[in-house]
Amino acid sequence: MISIRPAVENDIDALCSFDLIAQRENERREFIRRVVTSGECFVAVADEKVIGYGVLNYTFYYNGCIDMLYVDSEYRRVGAGAALLKHLESLCQTPKLFTSTNLSNLPMQSLLAKLDYVLSGVIHNLDEDDPEIVYFKRLR
């Protein structure tokens, strides 16, 4: 069974250990440290092991925004991503919730569609040759 809880400082090393970008980029490790200590990060736990994380904040034009959703590659497609998204939706304090993913990330696009997120726009030039697709969900 997958449970969701607020991340704590003791989770930082675990998050960095399975986040492939954090393994090679200090900037991502610092991001993880910042969102955990600020209370914006939530973790998915299965069998007492942290297997994923999601970040909810209000930096996207003062609307709820899921800045990051990442699940350990060994635990993908078992419901952790959906559980994190649903939990973050339940916490969101605005009627509009946004998130995004790369055009190349078809599994995330499929998950968002399954949970009734709709395409809201495209941002070019963030990642070379891989546009960012912005999604939206009305919560209330």
User: What number is the average pLDDT over the span 25-47?
Assistant: 98
Sequence ranges of the domains in the chain: 2-138
Distance, CA of 98 to CA of 119 (rounded, Å): 10
Helices 106-114 & 80-91, crossing angle to 10 degrees?
50
pLDDT at 140 over 90: no
Helical ranges in the chain per DSSP H: 12-18, 20-24, 26-38, 80-91, 106-114
Domain 2-138 has CATH 3.40.50.2000: no
Average pLDDT, the chain: 97
Give pTM, 2 decimals: 0.95
Residues 95-107: pLDDT tens digits? 999 999 999 999 9
Residues 64-106: pLDDT tens digits? 999 999 999 999 999 999 999 999 999 999 999 999 999 999 9
Residue 35: predicted pLDDT: 98
